[in-house]
Structure 1
Amino acid sequence: MGRKWANIVKKKGAADKLRGQIYTKILFEVSKAVKSGGEDPATNFLLKIALEKCKKNNVPKDNIDRAIKKGLGGDDDGYQEISYEGYGPNGVAIFVEASTNNVTRTVANVRVCFKKAGGSLGTTGSLQFVFTRKAVFEVPQGDLDEDEFTLEMIDAGAEDIELEDGIFCINGPMEVFGAISKKLEELGVQPEEATLEQIPQTFKEVDDETYEAIMKMIDALESDEDVLKVYHNIEYDERFAEL
C-alpha cells in the first residue's frame, strides 16, 4: 500500500496548493493545534509544525496571532468541523473535511460539486470501510539512515514507512500519533507534516477520463473556502503523471 498511498498524498498535496486558500487552511491548523494542546510550540508538537508552515508560506504575523487567539477561545466565530462522504464518477470514493460557521451553505456547495461531476453525496459513515483515519508524517531524509530510522518508526508504532524523493512518508494507527511525535523529538527530527488523515484501505482502478474528472472535482471542492482537505481512493498509475 505504501507507494500507492504516498502518491495519493503527493497528488492531493499538489491540488492543495491553491494560493487563494492556503492561508486559511494553515491558520486553521494553528487554531486547531492551540485548541488541543495550548499556545506554547515548545510543548505543542502540532503547533510547532503549523507555525513552520506559516513561516514557509509567509503568513502575516497578525493572522497567526488571531488564529492563536481563536484557538484559545477568544474568537471562535461559531466554526465547527464537519465531514462529507460520497462517490464521484465511476464509483470513486470521495471524503471531504471542512470547517464552517454555516453548515447549510457548506453542504449546498459540496453537493453542487458532487452533482456537477456526476457523483452523489452519501450519508455520514458510508465510507467507513473505505477510509481509515491514521497518523501521517512526512520527514525529510537529510542525514538519516533509512534502515535505522525505519526501525525507530516501527518501534514507535508506525505501520508503513516509504522513502520517496528524499522524503519519508510514515503512517500508523491514529492512536500512535503521540508516540511517533515523541520519538521524532527524541531523534531531533523536524517533520514537514504531522497530521491525522483519511487513508484509503481499498483502491479503485480508473481510466484516464475518470482520473481527470476526479481531479477536476477535487479542484472545485478545494476552491471552496470552507473545505480543508479532500481524499480519494484511486489506484495510482504512473501514466497519470503525464495527464
Structure 2
Amino acid sequence: MAGHSKFKNIMHRKGAQDKKRSGMFSKLSREITVAAKMGLPDPDMNPRLRAAVNAAKAQSMPKDNIQRSIDKASKGDAENYEEVRYEGYGPGGVAIIVEALTDNRNRTATNVRTAFSKNGGNLGASGSVAHGFERLGLIEYPAAAGDEDKVMEAAIEAGADDVQSDEDGHQIWTQQDGMHDVAKTLESALGPAEAVKLAWKPNLEVTVTGDDVATLMKLVDALEDDDDVQTVWGNYDISDADLEKLG
C-alpha cells in the first residue's frame, strides 16, 4: 500500500472539470447508455452500469436523466457507440491515452488528431504509449469518506492493491477482474464511491515545468472538451505551484 500521491495531476485539474458540467452530463449519459446496452438494464445485475450510475450520481446528475439514458438502451433506440482508444505524445514527451465512445470514428479521429497537432503534441499509432501504463481498476472516494487510515483499513479488508490519498480524496487501485467485488465491499464500509472504472496508471511519471505546463493543459482541455472523449490519461506530474499559475 502506498501513501500520498500527485495522481490528481494525472487526471487533470478537478476545478476545470467542474466548469464543464453540461458536457460531463452528456459523457455520463453516453456511458450509461452503452453500459445498459451491453448488459442488463438493471444496475444491480450489471457492474459496468452500476459504476456508471454511481458516477452520475456523484456528479449530481438528475435521476430523470439517468433513467432516460437507461431507457434509451432498453428500447433499442440508442445510437450505436463503439469504444476507441488513441495514443500520443504531448509537450515535454508526455505520454497520453485518450478513451472515447463514438458513433463516427472518422470524426473522432480527426478531432483528436487536431487537438494534438494544435497543442504541441503528436498522435501516435495504437500501442505506442500503452506499454508505459498498467490497466487497473480505480475506485475514487471524496475526502469526506474518511481519513487516510480509515480508507486504508477498508481498502485492505476489501482486497485492494494500493491506496493513494491527498486533500482532494482517495484513489483505491485494484486488479481489473476484482474491481467490482472490491467496490461492492467498500460500499458497505464507506458508502457509494464517486467513481468505479478501469484506468491507465503510468509506470513512470514525467515532470513537466515551464511553458510546457500551459501547453499541455491546453491539449488536455481540448481533448476533454470533445463530446466523444470520455477520459484522458497521462504520465505527467506538475507541481501545485505551476498548476496555480494557470488559474
TM range (shorter): 0.7 to 0.9
Structure 2 residue corresponding to 1:110, chosen from 109, 112, 136: 112
Does the CA-based 8 Å contact 1:12-1:231 persist in structure 2? Answer: no
Structure 1 residue corresponding to 2:202, chosen from 200, 203, 210: 200
Displacement of 1:2: 5.5
Alpha-carbon separation, structure 1, partners of 2:50 and 2:180? 14
Alpha-carbon separation, structure 1, partners of 2:177 and 2:195? 17
Alpha-carbon separation, structure 1, partners of 2:168 and 2:236? 24
Q: Which amino acid aligns with 1:16?
A: Q
Identify the residue that residue 14 of structure 1 maps to in structure 2. Answer: 15
SS of the aligned residue for 1:39 comes to coil
Displacement of 1:27: 0.7
- More displaced stretch, 13-22 vs 205-214: 13-22
Q: Name the CA shift for 1:79/1:36 in 2 (closer, same or farther; >3 Å).
A: closer
Alpha-carbon separation, structure 1, partners of 2:129 and 2:148? 34
Does the CA-based 8 Å contact 2:89-2:124 persist in structure 1? Answer: yes
Q: Which amino acid aligns with 1:177?
A: M
Structure 2 residue corresponding to 1:57, chosen from 48, 60, 63: 60
Percent identical across equivalent pairs?
Answer: 34
- More displaced stretch, 172-181 vs 118-127: 172-181
Alpha-carbon separation, structure 2, partners of 1:31 and 1:113? 26
Q: Name the CA shift for 1:170/1:188 in 2 (closer, same or farther; >3 Å).
A: closer
Structure 2-normalised TM-score?
Answer: 0.84
- More displaced stretch, 74-83 vs 63-72: 63-72
- RMSD of aligned residue pairs (Cα, Å): 2.7
SS of the aligned residue for 2:130 comes to coil
Identify the residue that residue 92 of structure 1 maps to in structure 2. Answer: 94
Q: Which amino acid aligns with 1:169?
A: Q
Does the CA-based 8 Å contact 1:34-1:68 persist in structure 2? Answer: yes
Identify the residue that residue 32 of structure 2 maps to in structure 1. Answer: 30
Alpha-carbon separation, structure 2, partners of 1:3 and 1:147? 12
Written as runs of structure 1 = structure 2, the 5 A alignment for 1:182-197 is: 182-187=184-189, 189-197=191-199
Alpha-carbon separation, structure 2, partners of 1:110 and 1:166? 29
Structure 1-normalised TM-score?
Answer: 0.85
- More displaced stretch, 161-170 vs 195-204: 161-170
Identify the residue that residue 223 of structure 1 maps to in structure 2. Answer: 225
Q: Which amino acid aligns with 1:121?
A: L
Q: Which amino acid aligns with 2:124?
A: G
Alpha-carbon separation, structure 1, partners of 2:157 and 2:182? 9
Identify the residue that residue 128 of structure 1 maps to in structure 2. Answer: 130
Q: Which amino acid aligns with 2:211?
A: E
Does the CA-based 8 Å contact 2:4-2:165 persist in structure 1? Answer: no
Does the CA-based 8 Å contact 2:138-2:199 persist in structure 1? Answer: yes
Does the CA-based 8 Å contact 1:82-1:97 persist in structure 2? Answer: yes
Q: Name the CA shift for 1:166/1:107 in 2 (closer, same or farther; >3 Å).
A: closer
Query: What is the number of equivalent residue pairs in this alignment?
Result: 242
In structure 2, runs of 5+ residues without a counterpart are: none
Displacement of 1:146: 4.2
